[in-house]
């Protein structure tokens, strides 16, 4: 049988299929190979008795994060609010970079549209080519569009405490069979000291993963490979990279840089390039041997 691991607890893996949940053990061979099953993994398993089973094989992963330990996230919803705290383009851009690096689609959400005008921010991200949603979890505005974006995917939400992640999840799935209380608690205020990752099925193959806020994912920046790829992790630069005069152009200050030219001419958003410069600066001293081992 094939299913998806939605939870691990005390050495058991809980594998969901379309209509049941199986409590599984992993075959001993996994331990030897050093690959251990993760929440989010699609696995082949053999049933034993009473909805119990043994995992035989882990299907190839689309991606796999270390913090939180989870595999196969399709979409990262990067959420900001109009105030408390206000949108921070650098934090948003940093998350888009981490998402792109991990082969996760970044999607931008501005919540609390009832409190003000986000058009300036949403224009930046639309121009940069990202799917961008302006919503109000409180007044249930724009929430359906987010729901259809999530359908059939494994989604994670990230954003500072207070931006309305729990409110949005509740607005999305309030009447569903999901344990909203638990999700609110987990997605909420970061009171929980235990890092416990779990996927919640919202319907059939639609899942949401509880994710700690911005801070935990920041660790992913300490990665030499990411540093090396930085220019490619800004999809809005891709049309210009080949136009730079020097092949080794860092797109920071060089003469004949097509990216800088595109910023000047309004084809690349200045705040996106500012974030690039800041990330470039932050990572410039990172050496290959300092890179976090995945």
The stretch near Zn ion (CB under 5 A) out of 24-32, 54-62, 246-254, 275-283 is 246-254
Indicate whether 136 belongs to the interface with ligand GDP (CB under 6 A).
yes
Site track for ligand GDP across 107-126, x = CB under 6 A:
----xx-xx-----------
165 forms part of the interface with ligand GDP (CB under 6 A): yes
Task: Note whether 6 and 207 are within 8 A (CB).
Answer: yes
Instruction: CB nearer to Zn ion: give 169 or 249.
Output: 249
| Phi-psi group of 154: left, alpha or beta (phi > 0 → left; psi -120 to 50 → alpha; rest → beta) | beta
* Cα distance between residue 217 and residue 118, in whole Å: 25
Q: Are the C-beta atoms of 161 and 191 separated by less than 8 Å?
A: no
Which residues, including other chains, have CB under 8 Å from residue 212's CB and lie 6 or more apart? 67, 68, 190, 195
CB of residue 256 to Zn ion, shortest distance in Å: 8
Q: Which residues pair with 32 in a beta bridge?
A: none
**Binding flag, residue 155, ligand GDP (CB under 6 A):** no
- In the list 25, 67, 138, 196, the residue contacting ligand GDP (rule: CB under 6 A) is 138
Q: CB of residue 182 vs ligand GDP: minimum separation in angstroms?
A: 13
* Sheet of 154-158, strands arranged across: 132-134, 105-111, 75-81, 154-158, 206-209, 199-203
Shortest Cβ distance from residue 166 to ligand GDP (Å)? 3
Per the structure block, which two tokens stand in for 71? 């595999």
Residue among 135, 89, 90, 132 at smallest CA distance from 112? 135
Quick one: 222 exposed, middle or buried, by C-beta within 10 A (0-12, 13-18, 19+)? middle
Count of C-beta atoms within a 10 Å radius of residue 67 = 16
Rule CB under 6 A: is residue 146 a binding residue for ligand GDP? no
- Kindly identify the residues of this chain, within the stretch 226-245, that bind Zn ion according to CB under 5 A: 244
Taking CB under 6 A as the criterion, which residues in 79-108 touch ligand GDP?
none
Our CB check for Zn ion shows the closer of 65 and 249 to be 249
Q: Which does 166 bind (CB under 5 to 8 A by kind): ligand GDP, Zn ion, none?
A: ligand GDP
CB closer to ligand GDP, 126 vs 138: 138
* Closest separation in Å from C-beta 181 to Zn ion: 50
> Omega before 245 cis (within 30°)?
no
User: Is 126 strand, coil or helix?
Assistant: helix
Binder of residue 251, out of ligand GDP, Zn ion, none (CB less than 5 to 8 A by kind)? Zn ion
Q: How far is the CB of 271 from Zn ion (least distance, A)?
A: 18
137 binds ligand GDP per the rule CB under 6 A: yes
Q: CB under 6 A: which stretch of 26-34, 181-189, 255-263, 276-284 binds ligand GDP?
A: 181-189
- Half-sphere exposure of residue 158: CA atoms within 13 angstroms, side-chain side: 27
In the complex, which residues of this chain contact ligand GDP (CB under 6 A)? 111-112, 114-115, 136-138, 161-167, 187-189
In the complex, which residues of this chain contact Zn ion (CB under 5 A)? 244, 249, 251, 257, 259
């Amino acid at each position: 049988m094939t299913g998806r691991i939605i939870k691990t607890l005390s050495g058991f893996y809980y594998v969901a299929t379309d209509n049941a949940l199986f409590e599984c053990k992993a075959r001993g061979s996994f331990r030897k190979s050093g690959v251990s099953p993760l929440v989010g993994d699609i696995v082949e398993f053999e049933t034993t008795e009473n909805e119990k089973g043994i995992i035989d094989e882990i299907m190839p992963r689309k991606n796999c994060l270390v913090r939180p330990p989870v595999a196969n996230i399709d979409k990262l919803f990067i959420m900001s609010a109009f105030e408390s705290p206000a949108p921070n383009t650098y934090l948003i851009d940093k998350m888009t970079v981490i998402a792109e690096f991990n082969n996760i689609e970044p999607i931008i959400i501005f919540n609390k549209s009832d409190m003000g005008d986000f058009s300036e921010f949403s224009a930046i991200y639309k121009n940069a080519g990202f799917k961008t949603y302006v919503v109000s979890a409180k007044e249930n505005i724009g929430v359906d569009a987010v729901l259809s974006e999530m359908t059939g995917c494994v989604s994670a939400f990230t954003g500072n405490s207070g931006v309305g992640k729990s409110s949005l999840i509740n607005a999305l799935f309030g009447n569903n069979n999901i344990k909203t209380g638990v999700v609110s608690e987990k997605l909420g205020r970061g009171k929980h000291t235990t890092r416990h990752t779990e996927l919640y099925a919202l319907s059939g193959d639609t899942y949401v993963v509880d994710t700690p806020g911005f801070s935990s994912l920041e660790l992913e920046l300490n990665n030499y490979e990411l540093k090396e790829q930085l220019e490619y992790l800004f999809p809005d630069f891709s049309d210009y990279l080949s136009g730079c005069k020097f092949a080794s152009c860092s797109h920071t200050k060089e003469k004949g840089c097509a990216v800088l030219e595109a910023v000047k001419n309004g084809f690349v958003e200045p705040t996106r390039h500012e974030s690039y410069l800041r990330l470039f600066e932050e990572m410039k001293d990172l050496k290959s041997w300092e890179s976090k081992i995945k």
